[in-house]
A = this chain, B = another copy of it.
């Protein structure tokens, strides 16, 4: 199993997508037991690319290059690699024909400059681009592998997911490292570590901790498959120590986990969102097949819709305000009733940056759950951070609130 490095070609203006790409490559490799040892971003200048390639070639066995395969003047990865390897760029009539067809299908005259994308490094294996025009390439040289992928994530992702992964699986005999994710929510990183430190070390498993904005992941790497028994024992211990703050081992993402719990219990969910503006609905419907348990969502951003659609009485809004336990309960009940669901979940709060007061500061978020038989639960939160962070934390916390109550009430 050789070292892997990634060279991302692009200016600093492209960091957003470069990051998505490296992230995706890293996750795909993890699934076949491989990992990136180094990633670097270099400007799209030929000499810079060649220099980085030389360095990586001396250290690593597999080198990814992303970006710089476009049709325009500043796309020069093809040329840099061809010069570094001393291999010619060869025009492929077939690829040019495929590119032309893509434009014609969209009703656009194929631009001449896209012809550049039909040039292939001599001897390269071609990776078909189903989304855009630039084909990817795999070149083998002196027992090492160079993989060129297009920069737009929408093009790189399917290529990496299918062709590159399959190619590497065949090429590389991977060591059988297995990764297990222990996930926690509602406790700080340091508490997770302090409470688990001794137990972990008694099991002799290596862990690294990754704190996300609310979820803490402890990653265990198993080098011997027979050690998997330890994982299941640890799972039991953590359940005892952390209770519902421990989500589980390798759990699916929270929206999917909630979906599984709802499906198992044959319950349908409807939402009433205010400050999150549709984010919770979006997260739930990220999951294919969510229509089985998700009826829909009322984004009652204005008070008039809270009154007219969810039937929150004017008097409640006047007396307690839209961000209150009382309003949250009525919103959840309204979502349940008008959303034709078994469970209504509501979120109402102040995401900021303005709109806060001493009594109700920015970050105050009320959530409520309306269960069958009139059962109601509420939760008050005080989140910190930017508007975006507060909204994200509110959305995740509301799903976690539902997870806890589903496993308590119907477990």
Which A positions have Cβ atoms within 8 angstroms of B?
Answer: 11-20, 22-23, 26-27, 29-30, 35-43, 70-72, 74, 103, 106, 108, 111-114, 130-131, 133, 152-154, 157-158, 188-191, 193-194, 208-213, 217, 219, 271, 273, 275-282, 284-286, 288-291, 294-302, 304-305, 308-309, 338-340, 351-354, 384-389, 391
Contacts and interface: CB of A to CB of B under 8 A. Distances in A.
Contacts of A190: 71-72, 111, 113-114, 133
B194 A111 contact: yes
A76 to B, nearest CB: 12
B13 A219 contact: yes
A74 B209 contact: yes
A194 B188 CA distance: 53
Listed from nearest, the 10 A-B pairs whose CB atoms lie closest are A19-B19, A277-B285, A278-B281, A278-B278, A297-B299, A278-B282, A15-B23, A296-B305, A111-B190, A279-B282
> Interface residues of A: mostly helix, strand, loop or mixed?
mixed
Nearest to A304: B340
Contacts of A26: 12-13, 15
Contacts of A19: 15-16, 18-20, 22-23
A276 B282 contact: yes
B284 A152 contact: no
B152 A213 contact: yes
A208 to B, nearest CB: 6
A39 to B, nearest CB: 5
17 contacts: A14-B210, A15-B39, A37-B43, A71-B189, A72-B193, A113-B193, A154-B213, A271-B299, A277-B284, A281-B299, A281-B301, A286-B387, A286-B388, A288-B351, A295-B302, A295-B305, A308-B338
Nearest to A274: B296
Contacts of A36: 12, 15, 41
B295 A301 contact: yes
Contact of A130 (B43, B277, B288, B384): B384
Given A282-B282, A300-B296, A41 B42 contact: no
A305 B294 CA distance: 11
Contacts of A194: 111-113
Contact of A13 (B113, B208, B271): B208
A352 B72 CA distance: 32
A11 B207 CA distance: 12
Contacts of A388: 286
Given A72-B209, A286-B391, 16 more contacts: A16-B23, A17-B212, A38-B42, A70-B189, A133-B190, A154-B213, A158-B386, A278-B278, A278-B279, A281-B299, A285-B351, A291-B302, A294-B302, A296-B300, A296-B301, A302-B340
Nearest to A213: B154
A148 B385 CA distance: 20
A299 B296 contact: yes
A154 B298 contact: no
Nearest to A387: B288
A62 B160 CA distance: 35
